[in-house]
Structure formats: C-alpha cells, structure tokens
Amino acid sequence: MNVVFRSCLHASDQDALERLVFFNPNQLHSQADVLHALELYGTPAIVTGRDGLHVTLSRCTDVQCLFAVVERPGRAAELAGMLIYRRTSIEDVLIVHIAVADKYGRSRDGLSVVIRLLRAVRAAARRLKGVQRLRVLYRDGRQFGIRINPATAAHAESELARFTA
C-alpha cells in the first residue's frame, strides 16, 4: 500500500472527506473519545483554503491536518485517513483526532494507516524547535505521550507499537 501524506486535499475529495469526518462508522468504536475531543476542541468543519480542503475545529483555530492518501497505479488516489493536531506548548504537540476511512478501518490496513500517520506527525514534530513530546488524546480523557528527541527514537517506536496494539 503506497501511502502519501498531504496537509490539504483537492476540492474533488470533498465527498470522501465528508464521509471520513462526519459519517464514519469507525468512530462508533471510539465514541466516548470522539465526544471528549468535541467537548474540548469543538465541532469539525471542512474549510476550503487557497491550498485546498482541510478541517478546522470550532473552539480551536490553530489545528493542522495530515491526510493519508493511498495511491495505486492506474487508479484515482483514495483518502485513507486523517489526523488533526496542534502545538499546545513549546514542548508538546497534541493529536486531537485520528480517523480512518471505513474501507481501511475494516482490515489490518487501518492500523497501518494510523501508525503511518502517527510516524509522519512525529517526524514533523522532530523538526520543530523545542518540541519534546507528541501526545495523543486517549481513553477517558487521559493522554498518551511519545518523546520526540532522536536519542529516544527506539523507545518511541516501542511505545508507538504498544499504543496501537
């Protein structure tokens, strides 16, 4: 599976993005977590910017998106998942929401999409001055953290694997 990452999507991806954000049956498995994120950060909205489509949250205007798109030769690219995150302090980046398209969520490919999204955000966070931790909203309002600095990359990989297991 060839997954590429984008910070925004083309307008032609509007329907797929709406299904992912608003009509995603996979979110029923994490309903309490989704509701908690909505309470903290507000409702999502799909916005068309000068670079394309992205998702914002009503109570938190400084979020960023990362989209996982599957590319296959001879086929149209498919939206496989997305992640919404924000820098909450000099040291922390918080992942507010992760979504996997229904087609991928019903197989091991869904786990692969989540892991790839988390790794991509961790790699981006490493390039930001001062960032030390990547945090993920977790069950019951707790947060799961992964250290960012390169010296702990092996530890971060094992923690990431444990988190997604």
pLDDT at 146: 64
Q: Give residue-wise pLDDT tens across range 66-97.
A: 999 999 888 888 999 999 999 989 999 999 88
pLDDT greater at residue 91 or residue 148: 91
Distance CA 120, CA 154 (A): 15
Contact partners, residue 26, CB within 8 Å, separation at least 6: 99, 100, 102, 105, 110
Distance CA 150, CA 32 (A): 33
Q: What is the 3-state secondary structure (H, E, C) of 98-146?
A: EEECHHHHCCHHHHHHHHHHHHHHHHHHHCCCCCCEEEEECHHHCEEEE
Can you tell me whether residue 77 is helix, strand or coil?
A: coil
pLDDT at 149: 65
* Segments making up each domain of the chain, as ranges: 2-164
CATH architecture of 2-164: 3-Layer(aba) Sandwich (3.40)
Q: Give residue-wise pLDDT tens across range 40-63.
A: 888 999 999 899 999 999 998 899
pLDDT at 64: 94
